Structure 1
Amino acid sequence: MPDKGELGWRLVAGAAAFGAGFVARKAITIGWKRAIGKEPPTNPESPEVALTEAIAWAVVMGVGMEVARLLATRAAANRWHKSTGELPSALRSAADKAKSVAS
């Protein structure tokens, strides 16, 4: 059973990742429209979508979403550290975890 701190961190990190994903999807879609000049594929798996377009959309969306999640989680971890004085246990290095167990 996770402790309150771990549960709190999971909620904060999840909310940050969700918000970042929402904003990133909108931004990526707008960027695609400007760069390509048309709407991104709504169903890249469809044979009616060119394979190159489907792959390009998958790569752009995958990288964009992961970068947004990473940045949001790091920002949330920095705020967590400033407010609690320590990183969430899920983000601490093995050496830091060993120190806290020994204390």
Structure 2
Amino acid sequence: MNKLAWQILGTGGAALAAIATRKALGAVWEKSTHRPVPDNPANSEVGLGEAIAWTVVSGVGIAVVQLTVQRFAAQAVRSRFGEEALPKKMRLVQAARD
């Protein structure tokens, strides 16, 4: 159950946060640019500047939200189930040894 908690909170939470963030960023993009979100920024019909702007905005936005959710989830799992419930790379004890 301990490791399942991390899978649900850490991995699942980050995935759901990415989906929600992309939708929110898309709404902000459309409101501010009065243009639809580029479905495929690699398509040559999308201008290079627009493709780069959407890629940067969505990439950074999603990465920041995922990082925040994973840090919050790690703290929640750590306080409820202990370090052993986290993946090795997330454990504080492991990080202190390296």
User: Normalising TM by the smaller chain, what interval?
Assistant: 0.7 to 0.9
Alpha carbons 2:18, 2:65 under 8 Å: kept: yes
Of residues 64, 74, 78 in structure 2, which corresponds to 1:77? 74
Structure 2 gap ranges (5+) = none
Q: Which has the higher contact order (CA 8 A, sep 6+)?
A: 2
Taking only aligned residues, the RMSD between alpha carbons, in angstroms, comes to: 2.5
Structure 1 gap ranges (5+) = none
Q: Which amino acid aligns with 1:14?
A: T
Q: TM-score, normalised by structure 2?
A: 0.81
Alpha-carbon separation, structure 1, partners of 2:39 and 2:78: 39
Name the residue aligned to 2:89: 90
Alpha-carbon separation, structure 2, partners of 1:53 and 1:19: 26
Q: TM-score, normalised by structure 1?
A: 0.77
1:9: how far off?
Answer: 2.3
Tell me whether 1:51 sits opposite 2:48 in the alignment.
yes
1:85: how far off?
Answer: 3.7
Alpha carbons 2:89, 2:95 under 8 Å: kept: no
Alpha-carbon separation, structure 2, partners of 1:55 and 1:8: 37
Aligned length: 95
Name the residue aligned to 1:17: 14
Q: Percent identity?
A: 35
Tell which structure's C-alpha radius of gyration is larger.
1
